[in-house]
Amino acid sequence: MPKPTLPLDGGCRCGQIRLRIKAQPLVTMACHCTGCQKMSASAFSLSAAIPTEGFEILSGEPVIGGLHSPDLNHYHCPHCKSWLFSRLVGVESFVNIRPTMLDDAQWFSPFVETYVSEKLPWATTPAVHSYEAFPPMEAYPGLIEAFAAQQ
């Protein structure tokens, strides 16, 4: 995957929320889980893990949607309900943004895919690492290193 030119600006479908990315992704992912199929209204969700200090909301106030889980918060536009980004509760280091919210998502390609156990039979991605569910926590440092090495 080519490194995107920073900053990357983006926003929701209606434009009330505008956001900016000022740091390179740590890793990029596609998730085939049935929850992401519902949230994305599609076959899988896309994520770019962005260091929190490199992520900024420029305008608007995202609201929590999805499952309203105690462990994982999904943030949406209050007006058009676009699914903008997700944060693990208690994890301050990164934000998983949905790359198709960016004005230019042409640079994006998923490096890791998760929950292939739940994927639609035809749904394939160019990810080079596939996991039946989520990778174990101890796999992430190696995936981040491998992602940086292939850029």
Site for Zn ion, rule CB under 5 A: 12, 14, 16, 31, 33, 36, 77, 79-80
Nearer to Zn ion among residue 20 and residue 23 (C-beta): 20
Determine the Cα–Cα distance for residues 45 and 96; give it in Å rounded to an integer.
11
Minimum separation from the CB atom of position 16 to Zn ion (A): 4
DSSP SS3 for 18: strand
Minimum separation from the CB atom of position 2 to Zn ion (A): 25
Minimum separation from the CB atom of position 22 to Zn ion (A): 22
Distance set, CA 138 to CA 38, 42, 66, 134 (Å): 28, 29, 27, 11
Nearer to Zn ion among residue 137 and residue 149 (C-beta): 137
Nearer to Zn ion among residue 21 and residue 36 (C-beta): 36
Determine the Cα–Cα distance for residues 52 and 113; give it in Å rounded to an integer.
22
